Every structure is written in structure tokens, then in C-alpha cells.
Amino acid sequence: MWKIIKTEYYYMYNLYGKWLLPFLVLLILSGKIFFDFLFNYILIAGAVLTLQNDNRYYMYQTLPIKYVEIAYARIIMLIINFTVLTLLFYIINIIVPLIKLRLLFLSVTSLILIRLYTFILFDIISGMRNKTKKTMYILLFAITLAAIIFLLFLGQNRIQYYIIAWIFLLTVISIKTFKLKEFVVVKEQYK
Amino acid sequence: MILNLTHLSNISLQEQIYQQIRSMILSGDLQTNSLLPSIRKLARDGKVSVITVQRAYELLEKEGLIISHRGKGFFVNKLDTRKKKMLVKKRIIEKIEPAINTAINEGIEKKELMEIIKKILDEA
Amino acid sequence: MENSLTITKLEKEFDDFILGPLNLELEQGKVTGYIGPNGAGKTTTMQCIAGLIKPDKGEIKIFGKQNTPNSIEWKYNLGYVDDKHIFYEKWSCAQNLKFFSQFYPNWDWDFANELIKRFEISLNKKVTQLSTGNKVKLSIVRALSYRPKLLILDEPTIGLDPIARTELLNILFEIIENNNNAIFYSTHILSDIDRLADELIFIINGKIKLQAPKEDLLEKWRTISFKAPNNQVDLNNEIIIQIENNYYKIISPDYNETLKRLQKSEAQNITVNRMNIDEISVQILKQK
């Protein structure tokens, strides 16, 4: 199980690693308001990162590894990502008010973010073979994003953002747990 | 052992293996008591299935051309001249019979047929 | 010797297709061809064997061990190749193989490197840069490198150029030299399997039609043409291909049997011709 987790993170690092540090720096520099908005956006990205490429999940099943361990690996990664990101942003949140001249970096940051997010989404969704599942996930992200933007205009209450993000996390986990009972990854549909 | 096998022939692969090994034995290329390749080795080298070689070896064994010793493999059987002649004769009959049948079907008479054979022998 | 594969009462139901009940036994040391049209259930069977699909009913044992999802020993002896070729796309072939090797205690790098050389795989190329043919080759290396005793190959030559295909078959011929190995090979391209297979299993509409030694089929099936005097023919399970006046052309699944009856009914001008596995398979799969 840890072999899979280790390799997945190493692979993600290979893919996205060089973006991470410059992005974080820019994030800090871009300012508190934008930062709040981005915070939840990235939490979702972190969750999405964990959902992985379905194809690879299928491939793990061909390996001599207990299916239960594969399922647990995914859930553990989900929790790790969320926790690390939440902690990270909590820390950054303390640093942000100390920086001046934020607006300059605002646009650059958002550009990088959109590109990063597209990368991630593409990797995940390209691996999905079930059309219904694809649509479901895209819808889920869209709804959560809309909810966050909505709350953003209602007030700057960070607790609310945390709540939404964690509701999202729990939804995803319950879908995955439900899947634990059956280890069918791809239900082949015959025409 | 080098066999020349083709599946572009009317003769099955099994039959080809059987015939080629039989030739080698009857002509003396494979001497008495020499060890034949194992079924699996021949399958691998000849790029045919194990069962094909197996059946060919079974045929050879039935004819008394080879003999199997448990745990050791297949060996060329000792054939006395009489037995050898019998096998060669059998092969000739296999080859001549279809020709004779064609001849009869297409209206060649016995006498004409004998003359043809005599002519061929004279020329040989 | 225990069977390399034993399938008992396997059943799997989909929305518009039912596989099984299926019973199957493969001995060690045999190559078995799994033949059937598209949609017959070949891939489903193999996915059930590899543990990628959970059957509704039935049991599958690999060298006596049941293929339960949470046990792993049975996988050390199972090599599986299908048409999916899933890897870490942005990593090189070498990195991918290194990843896989971690999971198999019996991984043989010498053998892996030999296969890489024979297939001419560029180890440093990223998987996204590979052509389909090369991805197939990589999948084969991934499946063979730990020398599994049972190889499940689901149409492995699709996408392979003739040279690579020949190379794969060469490798398979070498594998059969060991009498503990078994190969279960599904295809609808019969020229792949007609020399390699010892036994053939025919599947259609989710059910096994026939399981027979290849040589038996080749020995028994013939096309026969003859002239029937008085147009009297005594035919049983033969298939009539052509009739013109008194001339018949038929296919017989047991020509000795047929010839006996033809001789009794005094048929004339009898010619008998062999059939190849392709032709025989078509007839078997056509039967009701």
C-alpha cells in the first residue's frame, strides 16, 4: 500500500513539482482577499489530485496487492492532501498580512492557478472511462466552486470555507468507501 | 534436428514431422539407438505445438521406428533389414495407390498401366 | 499435477449479456486457444481470471489457489496482457518497469532486459511518446518479467507489426519448452494460435461450445465432394456447401464416419481435402 502512495506522490511531484514553489510564493504575495478565494479552490484541487487517474487504479489491481490496500491508499492520500493543504494555508495566512504590494502578483498567480488546475483535471478526467462518472465529478466540482464563490460574497468567514471543503472531502470518501465493497473498477458495458 | 515444416501444404504438420523423421531413420541419417530431441524441444525449435510433436512421435512409435524409455526419452529403434523393407514397401504403396486409383478412374487399363511402370523402371 | 487453471460454474451478468455458467480446466504444460467472435465473452472471462472483475457466481483457482481479491500469492504466477496498456504516462519505460518490479519477488531483470532487447524497446522514452505497438511490447515485458507460470493473453497481438508479432510468438514457443508453464490465449486471428495451441476452446454468446485438442480437429474435419447416384444421400451432421445436380460439396466433422456412409450409398468421385483451423473454427462457431 505504501509503495503505491509513495509512487503516486513521487509521480505527481515529477509532474507538478516545479510549479509548486513559485506558485506558493506568488500566492503569498498576491494578497489576503484573493488568497481566501484561492484557498478553497486549491483545497478542491488537492482533493482532485488524490482522486487519481482511474486507469492507474485499474492497473494497480493487476498487481499482487490486496484490493483493500489500494482503496485505503486512495483514502489516505485524500486525507493527507487535505490536511497538509489546510495546514499550509493556515501558516501562509499568517505570513500574508505582512507583505506589501500584492496586486501586482494577482494576475500572474491566477494564470498559473488556472493552468495548474487544468493540468490536474485533465490527468484525472482523461483516465475516466465511465461517462456518467465523469459528468458527476465535473458537476461536483462546479457546484462546490459555486458554493464557495457565493459564500465569498456573503462574508469573509473562513470557518465556512473549511466546512464546505471538508463536506466535499467526506462526500468523496463516502463514494470511495461504498466502492470498497465491490472491487469492480470499471464496469464494462456491452452494447 | 532441422525439420522443414510448412503449413502451406496439404500434408498436416504432424504428418510432415512424422514423414521427415521416418525418412531420416530409413535412410540411416538417424542411426539406431540415437536419441531424438524431447517433444518440447522439438516443439520449440520447429515452432509447432507440443501436441503436434507428441502425435507425430506416437505415430513413429506405433510403426516401431522409435521407442520410448521412461525418463530417458525417445530413441531410434533397432530395425532389421526385413522390417525396414516392410516399412519402405508400405510407404511405396501409400504413394502408388493414389496414382493407380487415378489411372483407373480416368480409364487407363491394367495392361497400359503395367507398361507405364515398366517404362519408368527401365529408365531409372 | 494440479491444473494451472480451474474455473467452476463461473457466471457474470451485465445489462445485455450473460457469461456462463462456465467450466474450464487447463493443465500445466499446455497452450490453449480461446476462440470466439467479438462480444462472445473472452475478455470478460479473462478479466475474471485476473481478478479485475468480480464474478456473480463461481470459483476460479490458479495452480490450486483461489483468486480472492485480498490474497496475493496467486498473482505471482499469473501474467496478464490485455489491450489497455496502463502506465505512468509521463515516465519512461525504465521507470515504469522499475515500479512494477517492486511488487514481484520473482522479478528477473536479466530476462526483462533480454525481452527489452528482442522487442527493441527504448527504455528512456516516455510512455506517452510510444506508439501503440511499443506500448503492447512494454505490456508484454511487464507481464513476462517475473516468469509467471500461467500466462493469460487477451488478444495480445492487436497493434503489433508483423516483426514484433513474430517475436512475441517466438518467445511463447520458448516458454512452452518448460512443461510447468501454461498459456491461455484469446484471439480471433487464428493464424496466431494455430501452430502454438495444443487445445482449443470455442466460446460464443457467453457459453463454451467446444473444447478439443487441436490435432483431433485437424484430423477429423474435411471438405468432401462427391457425386450421388440417384441423388440419394445419407447425411447426418455434415454441412452442405454446394449442390449442383448430383454433385455435392460438404463439410464433415468426422470424415471417416461420413466416408463409410457415402460408400454405403455408393457415392462416386469422392475427393477429400483437409481444412485449416480457421475454416474449422468458422464452422464450429456457426453451429447451433
Residues of chain C numbered 52-91 and touching chain A (CB < 8 Å): 52-54, 69-73, 75-76, 80, 84, 86-88, 90-91
CA dihedral C179, C183, C184, C190 (to 10 degrees): -110
Residue A78 falls within a domain, yes or no?
yes
C31 to B13, B43, C202: CA distances (angstroms): 17, 12, 14
pLDDT at A102: 47
A190/C14 Cβ within 8 A: yes
Q: pLDDT per residue over A80-100, tens digit each?
A: 766 676 666 666 666 655 554
CA torsion sign for C79, C80, C84, C86 is: negative
pLDDT at A130: 61
Residue of chain B minimizing CA distance to C183: B49
pLDDT at A90: 63
pLDDT at A32: 57
Is residue C247 within 8 A of residue C271, CB to CB? The reply is no
Q: Is A132 on the interface with C (CB under 8 A)?
A: no
B48/C177 Cβ within 8 A: no
pLDDT at C33: 95
Which residues of C are less than 8 Å from A56 in CB distance? 86, 88
The CATH number assigned to the domain with range C221-286 reads 3.30.70
Helices A103-126, A131-154: axis angle to 10 degrees equals 160
Residue A65 falls within a domain, yes or no?
yes
C178/B47 Cβ within 8 A: no
Residue A138 falls within a domain, yes or no?
yes
Q: Is A129 on the interface with C (CB under 8 A)?
A: no
Query: Is the peptide bond preceding residue C213 cis, with omega within 30 degrees of 0?
Result: no
Which residues of C are less than 8 Å from B71 in CB distance? none
Q: In total, how many domains does chain A have?
A: 1
Q: How many CB atoms lie within 10 A of CB C65?
A: 16
Which stretch of DSSP H or E encloses residue B99?
Answer: helix B81-105
pLDDT at A160: 57
pLDDT at A188: 36
Amino acid (1-letter code) at residue B46: G
Q: How many CB atoms lie within 10 A of CB C38?
A: 8
Distance CA B60, CA B57 (A): 5
Residue A186 falls within a domain, yes or no?
no
For the ranges A29-33, A184-188, B48-52, C18-22, which has the lowest average pLDDT? A184-188
Residue C51 confidence (pLDDT) above 80: yes
More confident residue, C113 or A129: C113
Is residue C34 within 8 A of residue C185, CB to CB? The reply is yes
Considering only the top CATH level, what class is C5-214?
Answer: alpha beta
pLDDT at C26: 94
CA torsion sign for A114, A120, A121, A122 is: positive
B44/C218 Cβ within 8 A: no
CA of residue A101 relative to chain centroid, distance: 29
The pairs formed by C126-132 with CB atoms below 8 angstroms and a separation of 24 or more are C126/C89, C126/C90, C126/C91, C126/C92, C127/C87, C127/C88, C127/C89, C127/C90, C127/C91, C127/C92, C127/C93, C127/C96, C128/C89, C128/C90, C130/C93, C132/C85, C132/C159
pLDDT at A129: 58
Which residues of C are less than 8 Å from A68 in CB distance? 69-70
Give this complex's ipTM: 0.83
pLDDT at C122: 93
Q: Is A16 on the interface with C (CB under 8 A)?
A: no
pLDDT band at C63 (very low <50, low <70, confident <90, very high): very high
A–B touching, 3+ CB–CB pairs within 8 Å: no
- Kindly report, as residue ranges, where domains of CATH 3.40.50.300 are found in chain C: 5-214
Give percent of chain A with pLDDT exceeding 90: 2
Question: What value does the mean pLDDT take over residues B79-88?
Answer: 83
Q: Which domain holds residue A8?
A: 2-180
Residue of chain B minimizing CA distance to C175: B44
CA of residue A186 relative to chain centroid, distance: 22
> Which partners does chain B have (≥3 C-beta pairs < 8 Å)?
C
Question: What value does the mean pLDDT take over residues C60-67?
Answer: 94
Is residue A126 within 8 A of residue A53, CB to CB? The reply is yes
Distance CA A99, CA A77 (A): 32
The residue whose grid cell reads 468432401 is C224
More confident residue, A94 or C106: C106
Residue C78 confidence (pLDDT) above 90: yes
Residue A108 confidence (pLDDT) above 50: no
Question: Which of B5, B41, B50, B57 to mutate to probe the C interface, most C CBs <10 Å?
Answer: B50
Which residues of A are less than 8 Å from C99 in CB distance? 7
pLDDT at B74: 95
> Which partners does chain A have (≥3 C-beta pairs < 8 Å)?
C
Residue C80 confidence (pLDDT) above 60: yes
pLDDT at A150: 58
Give percent of chain B with pLDDT exceeding 90: 42
Residue C144 confidence (pLDDT) above 80: yes
For chain A, give the mean pLDDT.
61
Q: pLDDT per residue over A138-187, tens digit each?
A: 665 666 556 555 554 554 455 555 565 556 555 555 554 444 333 333 33
**Ramachandran category for residue A186: left, alpha or beta (phi over 0 → left; psi -120 to 50 → alpha):** beta
Distance CA C205, CA A190 (A): 12
Question: What value does the mean pLDDT take over residues C99-121?
Answer: 94
DSSP A69-129: HHHHHHHHHHHHHHHHHHHHHHHHHHHGGG----HHHHHHHHHHHHHHHHHHHHHHHHT--
Distance CA C154, CA C166 (A): 17
Give percent of chain B with pLDDT exceeding 70: 100
For the ranges A129-143, B62-76, C247-261, which has the lowest average pLDDT? A129-143
Q: pLDDT per residue over B2-40, tens digit each?
A: 888 987 777 899 999 999 999 899 888 888 999 999 999
Question: What value does the mean pLDDT take over residues C219-229?
Answer: 91
A33 to A109, A117, A156, A158, C158: CA distances (angstroms): 13, 20, 9, 11, 55
Which residues of B are less than 8 Å from C176 in CB distance? 40, 43-44, 49-50
Residue C288 confidence (pLDDT) above 80: no
pLDDT band at A67 (very low <50, low <70, confident <90, very high): confident
Residue of chain C minimizing CA distance to A52: C88
Distance CA C9, CA C21 (A): 5
pLDDT at C254: 94
Residue A76 falls within a domain, yes or no?
yes
Residue A104 confidence (pLDDT) above 80: no
For the ranges A43-52, A89-98, B105-114, C14-23, which has the lowest average pLDDT? A43-52
Q: pLDDT per residue over A24-34, tens digit each?
A: 666 666 555 55
Question: What value does the mean pLDDT take over residues B58-73?
Answer: 92
Distance CA C80, CA C259 (A): 44
**Residue A125 half-sphere exposure, CB side, CA atoms within 13 Å?**
17
pLDDT at C178: 84
Q: pLDDT per residue over C164-213, tens digit each?
A: 888 889 999 998 888 789 999 998 888 888 889 999 999 999 999 999 99
For residue B38, give how far its alpha carbon lies from the nearest alpha carbon of chain C (Å). 9
pLDDT band at A23 (very low <50, low <70, confident <90, very high): low
Helices C132-144, C93-101: axis angle to 10 degrees equals 20
A65/C91 Cβ within 8 A: no
C103/A3 Cβ within 8 A: yes
